[in-house]
């Protein structure tokens, strides 16, 4: 609001260089004209606006760190997208920070040549298929999707074969209903040293292959614009050339998950910025008992608590971005950031919804959408509880998970 300080109360954006500040301003202008006026309608209808993808690609913000931008800038990009629409930010995160980053990190020269430019430019879209119907937090050890190596000529098992057959199911796969390709994680049926199914493999799967079936998950109360899917693989044959050669164990996934978890923590920041923006404007403009809500002491206290939560979360994330720049951000630090910011977010959006009273439960006033979408952030990329236990293990040396 004109004349009032922004939710970036400690001016973290001033840490960006001029080029990054200009690019962030360009992103804000795009979001204000192309996303903000329509986001609630898309959310209400549970429709994904595929028509905006060329304009989104034109911003050239795919994997900012790969383009030479700082990690702080990359985080603020996700926070700003979330500030306007969490669903669009989630699409961007899944496609770029998981699928495209996996091509950069694990793709062969041939895979990069074939897919990377089109994926970074959103001419093709990708998904990240890890979670399963029966396995979320425990998918590392409980993965049931299987990959069997075969000879494509005979269709029979062959340790040195040139193809793989995938069988299994995945759930909660963002972009899963419409993506062109997906990174699918499966356990190699070949026995390890203990006689059990062996290493976790990653495959680039063309979503149009025979045996791939996809269905949209309905009746969500959060991220309704995001097209989450249940995906089933029945004897899906994938060429050896489409296996990620750089992925040989679940530890390799942690590199990707660490980065995406950081971005989800930035989403928790963006949710708080959005909640503060909406609540403050409402408090200043809404009149009760003959005066603006903002003149009531309890309302001011709630707004200040919301602002404090947002600033504290931004401070933690700004420091984490510095650690990323130094190559020193480890998983316990990332887990603390995700658990802390998401807990502060939950309190912040609840206070914002309270300030709007009855208007806080209809999407006409945005706050209901912000409030609902926060629940997804609280849970995905490691629930609050799982991230807390990761940190607990780090600080005590004792695991409460396994």
User: What pLDDT does 3 receive?
Assistant: 79
- For the segment 365-393, the average pLDDT, to the nearest whole number, is 94
For the chain, what is the mean pLDDT? 93
Does position 374 have pLDDT exceeding 80, yes or no?
Answer: yes
Does position 195 have pLDDT exceeding 70, yes or no?
Answer: no
Residues of the chain with pLDDT > 90, as a percent, come to 83
User: What pLDDT does 108 receive?
Assistant: 92
Does position 192 have pLDDT exceeding 80, yes or no?
Answer: no
Residues of the chain with pLDDT > 70, as a percent, come to 97
User: What pLDDT does 190 receive?
Assistant: 82
Cβ atoms within 10 A of the Cβ of 232, count?
18
Instruction: Give 15-35 pLDDT, tens digit per residue.
Output: 999 999 999 999 999 999 999
- For the segment 360-388, the average pLDDT, to the nearest whole number, is 95
> Distance (Å, rounded) from C-alpha 338 to C-alpha 262?
7
CA distances from 224 to 9, 267, 369 (A): 31, 16, 9
How far is CA 71 from its chain centroid? 16
User: What pLDDT does 252 receive?
Assistant: 74
pLDDT band at 215 (very low <50, low <70, confident <90, very high): very high
> Distance (Å, rounded) from C-alpha 176 to C-alpha 385?
26
- For the segment 348-353, the average pLDDT, to the nearest whole number, is 98
**Parallel, antiparallel, or unpaired for β 126-129 and 181-188?**
parallel
User: What pLDDT does 197 receive?
Assistant: 62
Is residue 82 exposed (0-12), middle (13-18) or buried (19+ Cβ within 10 Å)?
A: buried
Pick the CATH number of 251-396 from 1.10.1040.10, 1.20.140.10, 3.20.20.60, 1.10.40.60: 1.20.140.10
Instruction: Give 50-95 pLDDT, tens digit per residue.
Output: 999 999 999 999 999 999 999 999 999 999 999 999 999 999 999 9
* Neighbouring residues of 182: CB distance < 8 A, sequence distance ≥ 6: 99, 126, 127, 128, 129, 173, 176, 204, 205, 207, 231
pTM recorded for the entire structure: 0.94
Please check whether residue 378 is in contact with residue 345, taking contact to mean a CB–CB distance below 8 angstroms. Answer: yes
Say which CATH architecture domain 126-249 belongs to.
Answer: Beta Barrel (2.40)
Pick from 168-177, 198-207, 267-276: least confident: 198-207
Alpha helices in 129-199 (DSSP H): 139-142
Instruction: Give 117-168 pLDDT, tens digit per residue.
Output: 999 999 999 999 999 999 988 887 789 999 999 987 787 777 677 899 999 9
Q: Look up the CATH number of domain 12-120.
A: 1.10.540.10
- For the segment 203-216, the average pLDDT, to the nearest whole number, is 97
> Distance (Å, rounded) from C-alpha 131 to C-alpha 100?
18
Q: What are the structural domain ranges in the chain?
A: 12-120, 126-249, 251-396
Instruction: Give 220-269 pLDDT, tens digit per residue.
Output: 999 999 999 999 999 999 999 999 888 877 777 777 788 899 999 999 99
User: What pLDDT does 332 receive?
Assistant: 93
For 270, the 3-state DSSP assignment is: helix
Does position 330 have pLDDT exceeding 80, yes or no?
Answer: yes
User: What pLDDT does 159 receive?
Assistant: 66
Please check whether residue 93 is in contact with residue 73, taking contact to mean a CB–CB distance below 8 angstroms. Answer: no
């Amino acid at each position: 609001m004109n004349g009032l300080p922004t939710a970036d109360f400690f001016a973290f954006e001033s840490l960006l260089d001029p080029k990054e500040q200009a690019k962030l301003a360009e992103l804000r202008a795009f979001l204000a004209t192309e996303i903000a006026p329509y986001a609630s309608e898309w959310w209400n209808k549970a429709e994904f606006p595929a028509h905006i993808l060329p304009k989104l690609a034109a911003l050239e913000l795919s994997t900012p760190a790969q383009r030479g931008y700082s990690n702080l800038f990359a985080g603020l990009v996700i926070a700003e997208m979330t500030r306007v629409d969490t669903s669009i930010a989630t699409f961007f995160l899944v496609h770029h920070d998981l699928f495209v980053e996996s091509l950069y990190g694990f793709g062969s020269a041939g895979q990069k040549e074939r897919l990377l430019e089109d994926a970074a430019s959103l001419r093709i879209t990708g998904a990240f298929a890890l979670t399963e119907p029966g396995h979320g937090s425990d998918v590392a050890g409980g993965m049931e999707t299987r990959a069997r190596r075969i000879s494509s000529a005979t269709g029979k098992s062959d340790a040195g074969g040139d193809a793989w057959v995938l069988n299994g199911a995945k759930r909660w796969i963002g972009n899963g209903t419409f993506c062109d390709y997906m990174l699918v994680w499966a356990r190699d049926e070949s026995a390890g040293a203990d006689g059990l199914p062996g290493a976790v493999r990653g495959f680039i799967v063309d979503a149009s292959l025979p045996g791939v079936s996809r269905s949209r998950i309905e009746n969500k109360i959060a991220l309704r614009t995001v097209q989450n899917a249940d995906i089933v693989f029945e004897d899906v044959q994938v060429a050896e050339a489409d296996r990620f050669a750089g992925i040989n164990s679940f530890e390799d996934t942690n590199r990707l998950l660490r980065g995406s978890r950081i971005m989800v923590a930035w989403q928790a920041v963006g949710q708080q910025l959005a909640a503060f923006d909406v609540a403050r404007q409402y408090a200043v403009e809404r009149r009760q008992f003959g005066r603006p809500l903002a003149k009531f002491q309890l309302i001011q206290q709630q707004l200040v608590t919301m602002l404090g939560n947002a600033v504290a979360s931004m401070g933690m994330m700004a420091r984490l971005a510095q650690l990323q720049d130094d190559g020193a951000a480890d998983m316990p630090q990332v887990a603390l950031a995700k658990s802390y910011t998401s807990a502060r977010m939950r309190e912040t959006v609840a206070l914002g919804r309270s300030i709007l009273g009855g208007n806080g439960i209809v999407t006409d006033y945005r706050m209901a959408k912000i409030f609902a979408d926060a629940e997804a952030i609280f849970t995905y990329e490691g629930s609050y509880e799982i991230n807390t236990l990761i940190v607990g293990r780090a600080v005590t040396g004792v695991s409460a998970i396994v």
